[in-house]
Amino acid sequence: MSEKKPVQNEEIKDENIDIEEESKVEELSENDKLMKDYADLSDKYMRTLAEYDNFRKRSQKEKDNIAVDARALLLTKLLPVFDNLGRCLANSDTDAETLRKGIEMTVTQLNEILKALGVESYGEPGDEFDPNIHNAVMHTEDESKPENSVTDVFEKGWKLGDRVIRPATVKVVN
């Protein structure tokens, strides 16, 4: 019996070695798995950063192109007006009435272009004064006109939709 005990001790030692080796293999495989997961996540993160950087650059380029395109559109709409004014100046032998008629037609053309672009003028005598859209440069006392009304318009105001591009310069009754 004494011989069997050492054999059992050796078997127990062998089993302990096998268990230790298995746990080391499991640790290595778990460590490898964690390293692989980390590498995958790191790769996804780097790709996301690169995609975001590309998106940011593309968005900025598109924003810059929108401004250029808007100016080009405005200029193509305004060039016919410029051409008509040039023709008017080139025709020096016309009488004053014909010249006036040509200028009126050009102003009408310009107003149509501005209207098509969503730009409209405002500011007429008799309008109620609004400091948000009017710039009062003079005031007068007149009992026959309502208080805070516009009496004279020195420069018309211009709006693009609800946005004031230029306030109307006016004279107001106090």
Name the residue range of residue 169's domain.
Answer: 119-174
Same domain, 17 and 97: yes
Same domain, 174 and 133: yes
Confidence of residue 30 (pLDDT cuts 50, 70, 90): confident
| Structural tokens at position 135 | 């710039």
Alpha helices (H) in the chain, listed in sequence order: 4-90, 96-116
Same domain, 127 and 168: yes
Same domain, 109 and 123: no
- Residue 152 belongs to domain with CATH number: 2.30.22.10
The model's pLDDT over 81-121, given as tens digits with 9 standing for 90+, comes to 999 888 888 887 878 888 888 889 999 999 999 999 899 99
Same domain, 96 and 14: yes
Q: Given 100, 117, 134, which residue is the final one in a domain?
A: 117
Confidence of residue 123 (pLDDT cuts 50, 70, 90): very high
Position 23 scores a pLDDT of: 66
Measured from the Cβ of residue 9, the count of other Cβ atoms closer than 10 Å reads: 10
Same domain, 91 and 102: yes
Predicted TM-score (pTM) above 0.75: no
Position 1 scores a pLDDT of: 46
**Measured between alpha carbons, how far is 80 from 110 in angstroms, rounded to an integer?**
9
The residue with greater pLDDT, 33 or 21, is 33
Scan for tokens 């008509």, then name that residue. 84
Label residue 160 left, alpha or beta by phi (over 0 means left) and psi (-120 to 50 means alpha): beta
The model's pLDDT over 45-75, given as tens digits with 9 standing for 90+, comes to 999 999 999 999 999 999 999 988 988 998 9
Same domain, 32 and 92: yes
Q: Given 101, 117, 133, which residue is the final one in a domain?
A: 117
Q: CB–CB of 150/124 below 8 Å?
A: yes
Mean pLDDT of the 146-163 span:
93
Q: Average pLDDT of the chain?
A: 86
Domain count within the chain: 2
Same domain, 80 and 152: no
Q: Given 97, 117, 137, which residue is the final one in a domain?
A: 117
